[in-house]
Amino acid sequence: MAVRAVRGAVQLERDEAGHMREQVEELLTAVLARNELTADDLISIWFTATPDLHSDFPAAAARDLGIVDVPLICAQELDIEGAMPRVVRLLAHVETELPKSRIAHVYLGAAAALRKDIAQ
Protein backbone atom coordinates (compact mmCIF):
# COMPACT_ATOMS: atom_id res chain seq x y z
CA MET A 1 0.00 0.00 0.00
CA ALA A 2 1.43 3.38 -1.02
CA VAL A 3 0.91 6.80 0.51
CA ARG A 4 -0.27 9.32 -2.08
CA ALA A 5 -1.32 12.96 -2.01
CA VAL A 6 -4.52 14.14 -3.66
CA ARG A 7 -5.20 17.81 -4.41
CA GLY A 8 -8.52 19.55 -4.85
CA ALA A 9 -10.23 22.92 -4.79
CA VAL A 10 -13.59 24.58 -5.13
CA GLN A 11 -14.58 28.22 -5.53
CA LEU A 12 -17.49 29.31 -3.36
CA GLU A 13 -20.18 31.64 -4.67
CA ARG A 14 -20.47 33.40 -1.29
CA ASP A 15 -19.01 33.32 2.20
CA GLU A 16 -21.76 31.54 4.14
CA ALA A 17 -21.22 28.61 6.49
CA GLY A 18 -23.92 26.39 4.97
CA HIS A 19 -22.71 27.05 1.45
CA MET A 20 -19.10 26.35 2.44
CA ARG A 21 -20.04 23.04 4.06
CA GLU A 22 -22.09 22.00 1.04
CA GLN A 23 -19.32 22.82 -1.43
CA VAL A 24 -16.52 21.25 0.64
CA GLU A 25 -18.63 18.12 1.16
CA GLU A 26 -19.10 17.92 -2.62
CA LEU A 27 -15.34 18.31 -3.12
CA LEU A 28 -14.45 15.65 -0.55
CA THR A 29 -17.04 13.24 -1.91
CA ALA A 30 -15.65 13.70 -5.43
CA VAL A 31 -12.05 13.19 -4.27
CA LEU A 32 -13.03 9.94 -2.56
CA ALA A 33 -15.19 8.66 -5.42
CA ARG A 34 -12.81 9.50 -8.27
CA ASN A 35 -9.92 7.82 -6.47
CA GLU A 36 -11.92 4.80 -5.28
CA LEU A 37 -11.22 5.71 -1.64
CA THR A 38 -13.13 5.38 1.61
CA ALA A 39 -12.71 7.35 4.81
CA ASP A 40 -10.55 4.49 6.14
CA ASP A 41 -7.99 5.24 3.40
CA LEU A 42 -7.48 8.81 4.63
CA ILE A 43 -4.34 9.61 6.63
CA SER A 44 -4.83 13.36 6.98
CA ILE A 45 -6.33 16.36 5.19
CA TRP A 46 -4.95 19.88 5.04
CA PHE A 47 -7.48 22.58 4.08
CA THR A 48 -6.69 26.14 3.09
CA ALA A 49 -9.11 28.99 2.50
CA THR A 50 -8.50 32.32 0.85
CA PRO A 51 -8.42 35.31 3.25
CA ASP A 52 -11.91 36.43 2.17
CA LEU A 53 -13.57 33.35 3.72
CA HIS A 54 -14.55 33.77 7.38
CA SER A 55 -17.85 31.95 7.87
CA ASP A 56 -16.67 28.47 8.89
CA PHE A 57 -13.82 26.01 9.05
CA PRO A 58 -13.63 23.89 5.88
CA ALA A 59 -12.75 20.87 8.04
CA ALA A 60 -16.22 21.04 9.60
CA ALA A 61 -17.60 19.66 6.34
CA ALA A 62 -15.40 16.57 6.69
CA ARG A 63 -16.73 16.01 10.19
CA ASP A 64 -20.28 16.37 8.86
CA LEU A 65 -19.50 13.56 6.39
CA GLY A 66 -18.49 11.30 9.27
CA ILE A 67 -14.73 11.69 8.85
CA VAL A 68 -14.07 11.85 12.59
CA ASP A 69 -10.89 9.86 13.22
CA VAL A 70 -8.67 11.55 10.61
CA PRO A 71 -6.40 14.46 11.53
CA LEU A 72 -7.61 17.65 9.83
CA ILE A 73 -6.15 21.14 9.82
CA CYS A 74 -7.21 24.47 8.35
CA ALA A 75 -4.96 27.33 7.32
CA GLN A 76 -5.25 30.59 5.44
CA GLU A 77 -4.05 30.70 1.85
CA LEU A 78 -1.56 33.40 0.89
CA ASP A 79 -3.16 36.76 0.15
CA ILE A 80 -1.83 37.25 -3.39
CA GLU A 81 -3.08 40.17 -5.46
CA GLY A 82 -5.18 38.95 -8.38
CA ALA A 83 -5.68 35.44 -6.95
CA MET A 84 -9.04 33.73 -7.40
CA PRO A 85 -11.34 34.72 -4.53
CA ARG A 86 -13.40 32.47 -2.20
CA VAL A 87 -11.40 29.28 -2.78
CA VAL A 88 -11.08 26.29 -0.48
CA ARG A 89 -8.22 23.94 -1.31
CA LEU A 90 -7.38 20.56 0.12
CA LEU A 91 -4.39 18.27 0.23
CA ALA A 92 -5.33 14.76 1.35
CA HIS A 93 -2.79 12.10 2.22
CA VAL A 94 -4.18 8.65 1.51
CA GLU A 95 -3.25 4.99 1.44
CA THR A 96 -3.99 3.49 -1.96
CA GLU A 97 -2.87 0.94 -4.50
CA LEU A 98 -3.28 3.53 -7.27
CA PRO A 99 -0.05 4.62 -8.97
CA LYS A 100 0.70 8.35 -9.00
CA SER A 101 -0.34 8.53 -12.65
CA ARG A 102 -3.89 7.42 -11.78
CA ILE A 103 -4.52 9.81 -8.89
CA ALA A 104 -7.44 12.08 -9.80
CA HIS A 105 -6.97 15.62 -8.51
CA VAL A 106 -10.38 17.30 -8.28
CA TYR A 107 -10.97 20.95 -9.12
CA LEU A 108 -14.68 21.76 -9.19
CA GLY A 109 -16.35 24.53 -11.15
CA ALA A 110 -14.31 27.68 -11.71
CA ALA A 111 -11.49 26.28 -9.54
CA ALA A 112 -10.52 24.06 -12.50
CA ALA A 113 -8.75 27.14 -13.88
CA LEU A 114 -6.28 26.96 -10.97
CA ARG A 115 -4.59 23.79 -12.20
CA LYS A 116 -5.52 23.08 -15.80
CA ASP A 117 -2.53 20.74 -15.94
CA ILE A 118 -3.95 18.29 -13.36
CA ALA A 119 -7.66 19.11 -12.96
CA GLN A 120 -9.95 16.28 -13.95
Q: Which residues are part of the catalytic machinery?
A: 7, 63, 74, 77, 89, 107, 115
Contact 107, 115 (CB under 8 A): yes
Alpha helices in 1-120 (DSSP H): 17-34, 59-64
